[in-house]
C-alpha cells in the first residue's frame, strides 16, 4: 500500500505535483503509471535510473512504472525502447576511484562529485528541502565526504514541490504573484486604485491629433512586408485605408488565413514607396500614434524613415493600447488569461465595425478600447 502524500505534506489537492492513488502515481506531466514488482519490471525489460546511468543512458520520457523500496522511497522504471544517450559530459568525470553502492531495493548507484551531481540535476535531501522540494524517490547517486560518511543525491525532477510562503508576510502559502491570498488582495486593491487614477486623469488631447493605425503583413518577421494600412483619428474619421502591393513577397498563405488578403487582391494596389510621402505627412501632424501591440507595427512602419533620429521621433509619439489593457486586466480582470484586441473589446462590450483582423476593423476597435481605458483622454471642447 502506498503512503498517502497528504499524511506528510500540508498541501491542497491543487498544489500537489505528484498524486498518489492506491497503487498508481500521477506524474507531473499528467500521465498515470502503475506499481510493478521487480520481477514484473524485469520481464518487461524496464530499467531503473541506476542501470541507465551505468549504460551512459538517460530517460527519454516519463517513467512507465514504479515500485517502492523498503524504506518507503520510490523506484522508477523506464522503457528500454524510449531512452536516449546521455551527453558525453555526463559519462566521464574526474574521481578518485570508481565506486558503486547497492541500495536496499537492489538498484545500484554510482559515486560522483557534488559538481557533477548538480550538473545532472541531483541534489542532497537537505538542499532540495531548501529549494522547497520533498524527496520521495530513492537516491540516484552518492559521494563520500571527508569524514567518511555517505552523502546521497536525489533527482530534483522526481521530487515533490512544496508550497512556498508568501514573500510579504512569510506566513501563509502563496496564492498569486508570490503572495498569499490576503496579501495579494491588499496588493491588488492598491494597484487597482493607482491604475484607476492614472487612467481617469484628464490628458486634454485633441481628437484630430491623436491617430490610431494598424498594419496587415505578409508574415511576422522583420523581412515581411506591409500589405494593408489603416489610419483614423480619434473622431473616427478614416484618414487612410488601403491595400499595399508588396515589393518582394509573392504569397503569404499562413497570414492570409488570418486577415484574408490574397495576392490577387493587392495586385493593383500601390507600392509602399508610393504611399510613404502621405504617411509621413499624416504622422507629422499627430501628437500621439496608437496601435494595439505597437511594437510589431512600429518595427515595420519605422522603415519609411531614413534616419535614426526620424525613427526615434516617431517612436516617441507611439502608445501601445495592448500594454494599457494588460495593466487594466491585471488590476480588474486577474483571471483573464489572454489580452488580444478581441479580449479587450469583449471586456468593454465593444462591437466590431467591419471584419475582425482587417486593418480598418482593428484600427477602429483599438480606438474604441482606448477611449474605454482613458475616458478623459481628450479635451472637452
**pLDDT, tens digit (0-9, with 9 covering 90-100), for 276-288:** 999 999 999 999 9
With 50 as the cut, is the pLDDT of residue 305 above it? yes
* pLDDT given at position 96: 44
Mean pLDDT of 164-183: 92
Average of per-residue pLDDT values in the chain: 88
Position 9 scores a pLDDT of 39
DSSP for 183-226, written as a single string: HHHHHHHHHHHHHHHHHHS---B-GGGEEEEEEEESSSSTT--E
**Residue 244 and residue 229 in contact, taking contact as beta carbons nearer than 8 Å:** yes
Can you give the pLDDT at residue 53?
78
Per-residue pLDDT, 247 = 94
Confidence of residue 222 (pLDDT cuts 50, 70, 90): confident
- pLDDT confidence bin for 8, thresholds 50/70/90: very low
Coil, strand, or helix at residue 337? coil
- For residue 271, give Cα distances in angstroms to 123, 243, 276, 346: 61, 9, 9, 35
pLDDT at 90: 58
pLDDT of residue 20: 40
Q: Is the pLDDT score of 160 beyond 70? A: yes
pLDDT at 381: 64
Give the largest Cα separation in the chain, rounded: 86
pLDDT (0 to 100) of residue 21? 40
Q: Which of 109-123, 129-143, 302-316 has the highest mean pLDDT?
A: 302-316
User: Three cell numbers at 368?
Assistant: 474604441
In the chain, alpha helices (H): 38-43, 49-54, 114-119, 125-130, 181-200, 253-259, 272-284, 294-301, 308-317, 321-332, 341-347, 359-373
Q: Report the b/e string of 163-185 with b at 16+ CB within 10 A.
A: eeebebeeebebeeeebbeebbe
pTM summary value: 0.64
Confidence label for 4 from pLDDT (cuts 50, 70 and 90)? very low
Please check the confidence at residue 85 and state whether its pLDDT lies above 90. no
More confident residue, 372 or 223: 372
pLDDT at 146 over 90: no
Q: How many CA atoms lie within 13 A of 85 on its CB side?
A: 4
Q: For residue 56, what pLDDT is reported?
A: 80
Round the CA-based radius of gyration of the chain to a whole number and report it.
30
Q: Give the rounded percent of residues in the chain with a pLDDT score beyond 90.
A: 62
Q: Percent helix, strand and coil across the chain, each rounded to 5?
A: 35, 25, 40
> Which of these, 273, 275, 292, 293, lies nearest to 283 by C-alpha position?
275
Lowest mean pLDDT: which of 23-32, 128-137, 187-196, 293-302?
23-32
11 pLDDT above the threshold of 60: no
Residue 165, SS3 per DSSP? strand
Least confident window among 158-167, 269-278, 296-305: 158-167
Percent of the chain with pLDDT over 70: 91
Contact call for residues 151 and 145 (beta carbons, < 8 A) = yes
Q: How far apart are CA 260 and CA 367, in angstroms?
A: 22
**pLDDT value, residue 88:** 64
Q: Nearest 5°: phi and psi at 239?
A: -95, -35
Q: Say yes or no to pLDDT of 55 above 90.
A: no
Terminal-to-terminal C-alpha distance of the chain? 77
Kindly tell me if the per-residue pLDDT of 205 is higher than 90: yes
Residue that wins the pLDDT comparison between 2 and 45:
45
Residue 17 has pLDDT above 50, yes or no: no
Residue 195 has pLDDT above 60, yes or no: yes
Q: Is the pLDDT of residue 152 over 90?
A: yes
Count of C-beta atoms within a 10 Å radius of residue 368: 20
CA angle 235-297-340, nearest 5°? 75
Q: 32, 24 in Cβ contact below 8 A?
A: yes
Three cell numbers, residue 35 = 506499481
Amino acid at each position: 500500500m502506498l503512503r498517502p502524500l497528504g499524511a506528510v505534506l500540508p498541501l491542497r489537492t491543487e498544489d500537489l505535483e505528484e498524486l498518489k492513488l492506491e497503487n498508481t502515481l500521477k506524474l507531473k506531466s499528467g500521465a498515470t503509471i502503475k506499481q510493478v514488482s521487480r520481477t514484473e519490471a524485469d520481464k518487461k525489460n524496464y530499467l531503473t535510473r541506476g542501470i541507465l546511468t551505468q549504460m551512459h543512458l538517460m530517460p527519454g520520457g516519463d517513467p512507465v512504472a514504479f515500485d517502492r523500496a523498503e524504506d518507503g522511497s520510490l523506484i522508477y522504471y523506464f522503457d528500454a525502447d524510449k531512452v536516449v544517450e546521455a551527453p558525453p559530459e555526463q559519462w566521464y568525470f574526474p574521481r578518485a576511484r570508481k565506486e558503486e553502492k547497492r541500495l536496499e531495493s537492489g538498484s545500484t548507484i554510482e559515486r560522483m562529485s557534488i559538481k557533477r551531481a548538480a550538473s545532472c540535476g541531483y541534489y542532497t535531501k537537505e538542499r532540495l528541502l531548501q529549494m522547497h522540494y520533498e524527496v520521495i524517490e530513492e537516491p540516484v547517486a552518492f559521494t563520500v565526504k571527508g569524514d567518511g560518511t555517505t552523502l546521497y543525491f536525489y533527482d530534483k525532477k522526481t521530487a515533490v514541490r512544496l508550497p512556498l510562503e508568501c514573500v510579504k508576510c512569510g506566513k501563509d502559502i502563496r496564492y498569486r504573484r508570490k503572495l498569499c491570498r490576503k496579501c495579494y488582495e491588499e496588493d491588488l486593491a492598491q494597484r487597482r486604485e493607482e491604475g484607476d487614477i492614472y487612467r481617469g486623469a484628464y490628458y486634454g488631447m485633441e481628437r484630430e491629433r491623436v491617430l490610431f493605425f494598424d498594419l496587415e503583413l505578409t508574415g511576422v518577421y522583420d523581412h515581411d512586408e506591409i500589405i494593408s494600412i489603416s489610419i483614423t483619428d480619434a473622431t473616427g474619421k478614416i484618414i487612410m485605408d488601403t491595400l499595399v502591393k508588396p515589393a518582394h513577397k509573392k504569397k503569404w498563405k499562413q497570414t492570409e488565413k488570418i486577415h484574408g488578403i490574397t495576392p490577387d487582391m493587392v495586385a493593383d494596389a500601390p507600392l509602399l514607396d508610393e504611399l510613404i510621402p502621405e504617411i509621413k505627412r499624416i504622422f507629422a501632424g499627430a501628437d500621439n500614434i496608437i496601435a494595439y501591440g505597437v511594437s510589431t507595427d512600429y518595427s515595420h512602419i519605422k522603415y519609411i524613415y531614413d534616419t535614426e533620429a526620424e525613427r526615434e521621433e516617431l517612436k516617441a509619439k507611439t502608445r501601445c493600447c495592448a500594454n494599457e489593457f494588460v495593466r487594466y486586466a491585471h488590476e480588474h480582470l486577474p483571471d483573464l488569461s489572454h489580452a488580444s484586441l478581441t479580449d479587450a473589446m469583449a471586456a468593454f462590450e465593444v462591437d466590431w465595425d467591419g471584419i475582425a483582423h482587417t486593418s480598418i476593423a482593428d484600427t477602429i476597435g483599438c480606438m474604441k478600447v482606448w477611449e474605454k481605458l482613458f475616458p478623459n483622454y481628450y479635451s472637452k471642447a
